[in-house]
Amino acid sequence: MRVGVLALQGDFREHVAMVASLGVEGIEVRTPDDLASIDALIIPGGESTTIGRLATMFGLIEPIRERAHDGMPILGTCAGMIFLASDAVGHHQPQLGLLDATVERNAFGRQVDSFEADLAVAGLKEPMHAVFIRAPWIEKVGGDVEVLAAVTGTDGREHPVLVRQGRILAAAFHPELTDDNRLHAMLMGLVEENLVEENR
């Protein structure tokens, strides 16, 4: 199994290290050829507009969409979640449209409003410690999107911050900044499912 991390901008090195902690080879992805060699992709946090612009420049938008439509699992975190989504509130930028969700950028506030929280995650026995840095939240999800965790936003409403749609996982937080690799392990589980189906 080879897990790629989109290495155009953001904290991709931390994700490669997290993948390695699970005994899996992590590959930095910068070209369509890199993308063709992996079994799953992680889109890291960073600056979503920059990630989208560079992905367009490097010819990665359509290849990522094609691999996703063929069943390749993807995990997007923070800016990666924004890039995966179909829409962003009041902001136009390159997006993959693979996650049927509308996101709000910097929804919790500025850098000084960054925070940490223990999330109850569907399917996990113990809470997941989450680091939110200039984090987005999900404003609206489509019918095929399963909400795995939510938090109360500054508007007093519950907003999804961890979701799954098929083999797409998206988190508003930074799992790579903790020592909890369970979200990455969930991605590996989706890879195993995909490989089983391909070998049938």
* Catalytically annotated residue among 14, 104, 139, 176: 176
- Indicate if 174 belongs to the active site: yes
Please state whether beta strands 25-29 and 2-6 pair in parallel, antiparallel, or not at all (unpaired).
parallel
- Indicate if 176 belongs to the active site: yes
* Catalytically annotated residue among 15, 159, 174, 184: 174
- Indicate if 92 belongs to the active site: no
* Catalytically annotated residue among 78, 104, 139, 184: 78
Tokens of 152: 């109360």
DSSP element (H, E) containing 74: strand 74-77
Residues in contact with 138: Cβ distance below 8 Å, sequence separation at least 6, in sequence order: 81, 85, 101, 102, 103, 104, 159, 160, 161, 163, 170, 172
Q: Give catalytic residues, as residue numbers.
A: 78, 174, 176
